[in-house]
Amino acid sequence: MIRQTILCCGFLVVLVCGLLVSPAAAQQDETVCIQCHGGLPDALGVPVGEWRQSLHADNGISCHDCHGGDPTDFAMAMSPERGFLGAPDYTAVPEFCGRCHVGVLGDYQESAHGQALQAGGAQCVMCHGNHAVQKASLDLINPESCARCHDYERADKIKGILADTDGKIIAMEEELARLGKLGMAVEAFEGQLFDLRNRFHRAFHTVKEARVREQTGEVLAGLETLRAGVDEIDAGLGQRKLWGGVAIALLVLAGILFLQMRKTYEEDEKG
């Protein structure tokens, strides 16, 4: 009987241990684009490494999403039949990016940059880069970058108008992330903030002071509403902490009282 129990137990133990965790991690599926270009030298391979660090990679936007082609078929990957586009010409870049970033494209085309495109005016990748594209920030407006074409003065002025509001947007992003980590339902807020941020960043692409100022007002009003929502959640959390503190204090007090009770019995036990 004991031997059987031991055997059963040993089996159970091994089984339970079998359930425990191993480091095997699921492999990410790689497209044929990456499999091939990843091993190529220089200009044909570098983009893969750059892309891996990019915002596009973080959001699951891969080679074929921009360049077209068939990411599942080695032979036909770069066939125009499968919609392969290749790399766009300098002047075709705004339309290339604008297939997804439609709002920005409209504002850009109205702007001095967009109007001067055929004459070598700035386009998307001049400031944002291409494969290594990062989340846009005000740091993209800087003397080195702007002074490649014109003097920095006007750009700096617009940056000045943007800076305060942009800072508030970033601060709000952090606030929402903090609440999200506590399990609060902030998806709706995040959606609103994403929309505000996009409208705000779009406005910059007109490079017109008046337009930027006008947008700033709307964005600030939107941020106020979000602020109120965040404050309400925080107030609720503060309340929880307060009442939680009371409950903890009561439990500790009850524990101490029980220990005192135990003491009275200990005295009886001695006597």
Residues within the interface to other proteins (CB under 8 A): 2, 5-6, 9-10, 12-14, 16-26, 28-29, 60, 180-185, 240-241, 243-248, 250-262, 264-265, 267-269
As measured in angstroms, the least distance from the Cβ of 14 to other proteins is 4
As measured in angstroms, the least distance from the Cβ of 20 to other proteins is 4
**Nearer Cβ to other proteins (210/247):** 247
As measured in angstroms, the least distance from the Cβ of 93 to other proteins is 29
**Nearer Cβ to other proteins (150/241):** 241
**Nearer Cβ to other proteins (29/42):** 29
As measured in angstroms, the least distance from the Cβ of 266 to other proteins is 8
**Nearer Cβ to other proteins (7/163):** 7
Query: SS3 sequence, the chain?
Result: CHHHHHHHHHHHHHHHHHHCCCCCCCCCCCCHHHHHHCCCCHHHHHHHHHHHCCHHHHCCCCHHHHHCCCCCCCCCCCCHHHCCCCCCCHHHHHHHHHCCCHHHHHHHHHCHHHHCHHHCCCCHHHHHCCCCCCCCCHHHCCHHHHCCCCCCHHHHHHHHHHHHHHHHHHHHHHHHHHHHHCCCCCHHHHHHHHHHHHHHHHHHCCCCHHHHHHHHHHHHHHHHHHHHHHHHHHHHHHHHHHHHHHHHHHHHHHHHHHHHHHHHHHHHHHC
**Nearer Cβ to other proteins (43/242):** 242
As measured in angstroms, the least distance from the Cβ of 46 to other proteins is 23
